[in-house]
Chains A and B, each alone.
Chain A
Amino acid sequence: MMFKLAAVAIILASVLVLYRAIAGPLVYDRILAVNIVGTKTVILLVLIGFIYERPFFSDIALIYALINFIAALAFLKYSENGRLDM
Chain B
Amino acid sequence: MEVKIVISGILLALGCFLMVVAAVGLVRFPDFYSRIHPAGKCDTLGQSFVLLGLVVHTGFSLVSVKLLIIMAFIYLANPMATHFIAKAAYRTSLEPWEKARPGVLLEEQRESGEESGDDIPLADKINIRGIKDHA
Contact = CB atoms under 8 A, between A and B. Distances in A.
Given A20-B26, A42-B70, A43-B47, A9 B20 contact: yes
Interface residues of B, number: 49
Contacts of B134: 26-27
Contacts, number: 132
Interface in B6-30: 8-9, 12-13, 15-17, 19-20, 22-24, 26-27
Given A25-B133, A35-B39, A55 B58 contact: yes
B133 to A, nearest CB: 7
Contacts of A66: 73
Interface residues of A, number: 45
A46 B9 contact: no
Interface in A32-53: 32-33, 35-36, 39-40, 42-43, 46-47, 50
Interface string A12-26: 111011011000011
Interface of A: 2-3, 5-6, 9-10, 12-14, 16-17, 19-20, 25-29, 31-33, 35-36, 39-40, 42-43, 46-47, 50, 55-56, 58-59, 61-62, 65-66, 68-69, 72-73, 76, 79-80
